[in-house]
Amino acid sequence: MRNRRDFLQLLPLSLGMLSLLPEMAEKYSPFEPTPRPEGPPLRVAFLGLGSYANRVAEAIKDSERVKITGLISGTPSKIETWKNKYQVSDSSCYHYGNFDAIKNNPDIDAVYICTPNALHKEQTLRVAAAGKHVICEKPIAINVAEAKEMIKACEKAGVKFLVGYRMHFEAKTQEIVRMRMAGDFGKLVFFQGLCGFKIGDPNQWRLNKELAGGGAMMDIGIYAINGARYMIGEDPIWVTAQETKTDPVKFKEGVDETIQFQMGFPNGAVASCLSTYNTSHLDRFLLTGHGGFAELQPATGYGPIKGKSHKGEFTQPHVTHQLRQMEEMAEIILRDKTPFLPVDGKEGLKDMIIIEAIFNAVKSGDKIQITWK
């Protein structure tokens, strides 16, 4: 997979390299239509049949590039409903105790893991051991050590490990990255990422540290982290962070309600971000440089995404995010397509490293340096 970011871009671009940026942006343009697939579709089993899995399944039900051919759930009634709705055979339906048997199922190419965060590691290891490609929702794990173990397991098994970064395939998001690659913003100075909503049911798994690994940061703060990285085009070298908690009953120890965090990048740009479960209508990205700006609001919702730059409004058509993601992932898995923005396990690991640094910054009150190796 093409690596679009060096870990440390400490030296400024020469004038010669700047002159090549428009050519590079054109070469990697994400907007060329994907041709109709020549081969078979990607055959996917869903592991965990909750609300988000249902959203993805609805998006791809009529796709020619992706087909639902397997179901894995601990709830028999969900299996029955999905089996009838998507015409999945009984022989491709499993529960959490026996899904290792997918190893012997030739009708399944990949498994999309849509379960709580704390279950991702074990399930990824089992899917990889069964010889099936892994698509895992973000965050890929609850800590860095787990993420590294998952990557190694997939590499050892010779299967691809992809992460559900749907925004990496979204047209307006990609346009901002293309503009940055072309030098349209000049020297980058500042990124702002605001991600928040007021969470409801206090008993849901997202507010359970054992299942979620945290609170708002793991669920939506990760969008600001990831957005800063692909918009700036670098990985941060330091973070600072501050936590605010107004309801310690709902947001127990280890479950963050609101975290403000800052990141510094090798090129001198800084990011100021907010992740919260206590304020609605926060979904905005802003990137500014000496030569221009770009803004998305909403920036990460299910769409349509809206935005503008110093050149005017973005007009790229809206495509259901989950459909675009899954059809592009079919090309990555079956035909080794290089995505415009990376969506592999190593991309997920980077976000886990930053999240861990943010949690450490909250606890210590210190600026945490990040060394990329």
Is beta strand 292-296 parallel, antiparallel or unpaired with respect to 312-313? unpaired
Same domain, 212 and 360: yes
Is residue 114, in this structure, part of any structural domain at all? Answer: yes
Q: Among 163, 181, 207, where does a domain finish?
A: 163
Residues 221, 223, 334, 73, CA torsion sign: positive
Same domain, 146 and 227: no
Same domain, 357 and 304: yes
Check 67, 121, 132, 138 and give the catalytic one: 138
Residue 221 is given by DSSP the state I
Same domain, 253 and 311: yes
Is residue 224, in this structure, part of any structural domain at all? Answer: yes
Give the separation between CA 314 and CA 231, rounded to whole angstroms. Answer: 16
Check 223, 230, 277, 350 and give the catalytic one: 223
Is residue 323, in this structure, part of any structural domain at all? Answer: no
CATH of the domain at 257: 3.30.360.10
Same domain, 197 and 280: yes
Residues 83 and 93: beta-carbon distance below 8 Å? yes
Q: Which domain holds residue 74?
A: 42-163
Q: Single out the residue of 321, 300, 351, 299 nearest to residue 138, CA to CA.
A: 351
Same domain, 250 and 228: yes
Is residue 19, in this structure, part of any structural domain at all? Answer: yes
Q: Among 118, 146, 163, where does a domain finish?
A: 163
CATH of the domain at 126: 3.40.50.720
Is residue 4, in this structure, part of any structural domain at all? Answer: no
Is residue 8, in this structure, part of any structural domain at all? Answer: no
Same domain, 350 and 212: yes
Same domain, 284 and 272: yes
Give the separation between CA 220 and CA 85, rounded to whole angstroms. Answer: 30
Same domain, 284 and 171: yes
Tokens encoding 290: 């000496």
Q: Is 138 a catalytic residue?
A: yes
Same domain, 115 and 79: yes
pLDDT tens-digit profile, the chain (373 residues): 333 333 333 333 333 333 343 344 333 445 444 555 568 999 999 999 999 999 999 999 999 999 999 999 999 999 999 999 999 999 999 999 999 999 999 999 999 999 999 999 999 999 999 999 999 999 999 999 999 999 999 999 999 999 999 999 999 999 999 999 999 999 999 999 999 999 999 999 999 999 999 999 999 999 999 999 999 999 999 999 999 999 999 999 999 999 999 999 999 999 999 999 999 999 999 999 999 999 999 999 999 999 999 999 999 999 999 999 999 999 999 999 999 999 999 999 999 999 999 999 999 999 999 999 7
Same domain, 205 and 353: yes
Determine if the pTM surpasses 0.85.
yes
Is residue 66, in this structure, part of any structural domain at all? Answer: yes
Is residue 37, in this structure, part of any structural domain at all? Answer: no
Same domain, 181 and 152: no
Q: Is 223 a catalytic residue?
A: yes
Q: How many domains does the chain have?
A: 2
Q: Among 109, 141, 163, where does a domain finish?
A: 163
